[in-house]
Every structure is written in C-alpha cells, then in structure tokens.
Structure 1
Amino acid sequence: MAGHPSQPGTCVTSRLLDILGAFDERHRSLTLSELAKSAGLPVSTAHRLVAKLVAGSALQRCADGRYVVGRLIWNAGLLAPVEGGLRQVAEPFLHDVYAATLVTVHLAVRDGDEVLYLERMMGRASVPIVSTVGSRLPMHCTGVGKVLLAHAPPEVRERVFAGLTRVTAHTVVQPSVLAAQLARVRRDAVATTMEEMSLGASSLAVPVVRQSDDAVVAAIGAVIPDLKRSGPRLLGALQVAARGIGRLL
C-alpha cells in the first residue's frame, strides 16, 4: 500500500494525507485496520480521522465496512493539470481513432518511472485490458510505456532497467533486448508489444510530439488481438491523431 508512517508530533493534516495516500491502483478499498497500518497510526486515531474524511465526502464507507475514495477526492483529481489541457486536446482525436477502428485506445504520460493512463476508450474487440483511467503500469511491457521510456531521461531508463519484472512469459526483461527495442522506437516512432502485459493482447503506440519544441509529451496507443492483422491500418490512424494533438498543444 502507498502511504508513509507518521512520526510523533505529526500534524493532523499530515495524518489525513497519510490515510488518503494508502489508496493506490492495487488497493482501491481498504479496511480501517489496513488504513491505520499504512498510515502508521493507532486504530483509534485512524478511526477518528477516517470518520472526518467520510463526513467530508473525501472517503466513502461501503456496505461491507471497507473504505474507498469519495466523491470530493475524485472531483478534485479531475482538476489536476495533467488531467486537463492534454486530455481536452486529445479527446476528439482519440474518438476519431476509436470510431475508425473500434479498438481500445489509450492516452498516457510518464509519471516518474511508470505510465499514467489519462484516457481510455473501450473497443468492442474481446481483448483483456489491465489499464484504467488513472492507473499506473510498468513502462517496459506496455506499448505507450515503451514510447515514453524511449524518450525518457537517461536516469529514468537506468532505474527502469535495474528493476525489470516479468508480468507474463512474453515480457522482455533482458536489458540488452529492451535497449535495442527502445532504439527502434526512437528511430521509427512506433512501439509494439505482444502479450507482454496481458496474455491475448498486443499493443501499438506512437509518440505525441509537441511541435513548439519537438518534445515527446505523451503517447497514444491501442490494444488489439493481432498486430499483423490490424496493425498497418491502426498505425496510420494513430499517427494522424498524434500529429493533430501535437499541433494543438
């Protein structure tokens, strides 16, 4: 779980933030005991603070007694800059790709050493999807992630290469192989994966380049069952969309 233990004398605000910080992609609902443990608080203290958060709609208590993020936090999160201008510019182009292909389309940015998914439009194809809006996934085994990793600062690539983990039997965990893939991404401006994040799912992704300074600021991609069958037509649609987004940023 996320979160940082509180030190003696820590102010109430810090303790409230510790409780909220316990929630992440893998821990969307937590018990009171789990919240207390993650925040480094006695259960009695956590109970008092959680009650205040529930009263203020920052948390919501479910019927089974577990807690989830409340409407107040959700609404505030949607106002974050990373969720604003880029999503607003990109959304019409993502709709165009989806309408033309009927596959699942993603918009993502790099957040530290992970991929942060800002938008997802679900396609009709029966393909296993792990990502959700707001979720973070590894960069080395996702199409959008490989695009962003290829253009990340050297120190980011070093950290990612030092901790490559295998998600499926097809995940690339050999640094030399991944380095060669990233070099091709920089050369060809396209990344692909085949069942590296989910079995039965392949992905295709391209960079979004801001024209004012040629910076790669995001990646858009799609998840499909078969790259050979759908890849060529999909690649053209993604490239057109990425250029349109880059022009307007």
Structure 2
Amino acid sequence: MSQPSDTPTQSSGTPAKVHHAGHRDRLRARFREAGPDALADYEILELLLFRSLPRRDTKPIAKDLLSAFGSLAGVFGATEKRLTEIDGIGESVANDLKVFHTLATRLGKHALQQKPLLSSWNAVLDYCRTAMAYEEREQFRVLFLDKKNHLIADEVQQQGTVDHTPVYPREVVKRALELSATALILVHNHPSGDPAPSQADIEMTAKIAEILTPLNILMHDHIIIGKHGHASFKALNLL
C-alpha cells in the first residue's frame, strides 16, 4: 500500500498553497527574538518537527504528542512503536525524535563527566530522569566513580520487565573491581511511575552494600526514578 503524500494537493492534482508557512516563520522569529522561554512546550516541539515534516502542519501533531505522553520528557522518552501510534508520526519522524532524546541524554552524561558527581547532584538526577524515567521496562544502571567522585563509567547492568529487573550483586561488585572504582551510585526506574522502593529493592541494595564494605567501595546512594519524581535511599535513611 502506498504511503500518503505530505504535500497538500487541490482536486486538480496541483500542489495547494501551504497555509502554515507563515506560522513557521513567525514561530522561528519569536524563538530568535524572545528566546525559548517565550514558547510553550508544543511550540518547541513544533520547531523540531518542522525539519522532519516540512510539508505538514505540525501544530496539531505536537499537541497530540503532548496529550498522549504528558510532557516533552514523555514524548522523547516514548518508544518508537508508541510514537508511531500518533497520527502523522511515521517511522522516520519517530526515529528523529529518538535521536533528539539520545542527544539530550549524551549532553547530560557529558555534563556529569566534567565535575565530581556529589557536587552536582541535580545534574545527576536530571541525567537519570532523561535516560530512564519513561522507559517501559525496568533498567538497573550503575554509575561507577573514582576516588575523586568523577564518573568512570555509566552502565546498564540489567533490563527486565515492567515491574522487575534481575540484579546479581556479585556481578555489580565484580565490575566495580574491574574498573578500579572506589564508589558507585545505583539507579533503576519504576515504569509504574511510583518511585517508592519495594522490599525487594531494599534487600537487594543491602546485599550489594554488604559485599562492597570489606572492599572499601562506597555506595553513595540508590536512586529510583519514576515519571513524576525520584526516591533516594540515602534521603530515606535506607543506607
């Protein structure tokens, strides 16, 4: 089956006038002159979609995306399969949106590498939310640190189901030793959105801490990321 064209046509088959061209120019001008804070989230999304959909009116598509996924973070964190369920979003556009998400994640990771993590905790949380908050399956991530608390490596150790990730404490410790890490931060997400730690989370964290202690490797925190917030084991006095 042939794909519908992005080019508007009249009944005669000749190209119709693109009525949204002026809107695009005005939106770009407002972004340049007033700055990004002057634009609503759907307008920022429109600006990105202009390049992927040069012949379409992207305003309703941007609004549909935000309605479906709740926020810009939700749009960029959604899977390509879910993105293509939105009218006007094909595989190519979904891929473009995931490229933007990857770019944001890598910029966040680069920012973490420039300074000790414990002195830039908000950047750690922002990075983890960008990378994991909207994943549809649980991921268990470890940030490995050197003696100055600089990031050595950021690795997804395991990926599980919507509500469970198998974690092998000795594998975490083994990898820390391979990297000569002196500290680490555990991070995992709860696709349900609720970041409250489960009893299994608490027991697993205690087991890893127990193995790390005689090796003089510190566990600074275990962070659980949800769509609408996070939980810190340290803040909850669980470490």
TM-score normalized by the length of structure 1: 0.27
Structure possessing the higher radius of gyration over alpha carbons: 2
Which has the bigger relative contact order, CA under 8 A and spacing at least 6? 1
Greater strand share, 1 or 2?
1
